[in-house]
Amino acid sequence: MKFAILVNEGPYQHQASDSAYQFATAALESGHEVSRVFFYHDGVNNGSRLTTPPQDDRHIQKRWSALAADKNVDLVLCVAACQRRGMVDDGERDRNKKDATNIAEGFRISGLGQLIEAGIEADRLITFGD
Fold of 2-128: Hypothetical Protein Ychn; Chain: A, (3.40.1260)
Residue 62 · residue 30 · CB < 8 Å: no
pLDDT for residue 14 = 92
Catalytic (active site) residue 78: yes
pLDDT in tens, the chain (130 residues): 999 999 999 999 999 999 999 999 999 999 999 999 999 999 999 999 999 999 999 999 999 999 999 999 999 999 999 999 999 988 888 888 889 999 999 999 999 999 999 999 999 999 999 8
pLDDT for residue 124 = 98
Catalytic residue among 27, 75, 78, 109: 78
CA distance 11 to 17: 6
Rg for the chain, CA atoms, rounded: 14
pLDDT for residue 96 = 85
pLDDT for residue 127 = 98
Residue 16 is given by DSSP the state: H
pLDDT for residue 109 = 97
pLDDT for residue 92 = 86
CA distance 73 to 65: 9
